[in-house]
Amino acid sequence: MKHIGIWLDKDKAYIIRIDNGKESMTTIPSNIEHFRIHGGSGTRLKGGPQDVVQDSKYLEREKHQTKRYFSEIIEHLKDFDALALFGPADTNRKLEKELELFYKDIYKKIVLVEKVDSMTLNQTKALVRDTFTNLV
């Protein structure tokens, strides 16, 4: 059996492949910028000039960067029987939604989507290993 477990957040993804007991891992950086929007006025005076924040511009750029990140991950999803997604935030749910909308053949192989805290690399590998051991 060939299984893939992915732990991902907005910074990176660990793709852990278990192929008949042999483990291999790939790390994919997200290259998603972390936008820090600083609002407020440029002066202490009431009614002074206000900074105009272009939220939509930042959100649109982040959406495109996320789409590219997911495409890079999906390129590594070939020749497997089951897929599990993990992560500390909602990035794993967003990837699941992307697979559901555009990659139905991969989406059908998802056996688990679970929210987990940040963990060390060894903890992540153990989580993936235990997940597929318990599913069999």
Q: How far is CA 9 from the centre of its chain?
A: 4
pLDDT tens, N- to C-terminus, the chain (136 residues): 899 999 999 999 999 999 988 999 999 999 988 766 555 545 555 655 555 556 788 889 999 999 999 999 999 999 999 999 999 989 999 999 999 999 999 999 999 999 999 889 999 999 999 999 987 6
The domains of the chain, with CATH numbers, are 2-33+53-135 (3.30.420.60)
Alpha-carbon distance of 18 to 125, in angstroms, equals: 10
Residue 77: count of CB within 10 angstroms of its CB: 17
Alpha-carbon distance of 129 to 45, in angstroms, equals: 60
pLDDT of amino acid 34 = 77
Predicted TM-score (pTM) of the model is 0.84
Burial class (CB in 10 A: 0-12, 13-18, 19+), 113: middle
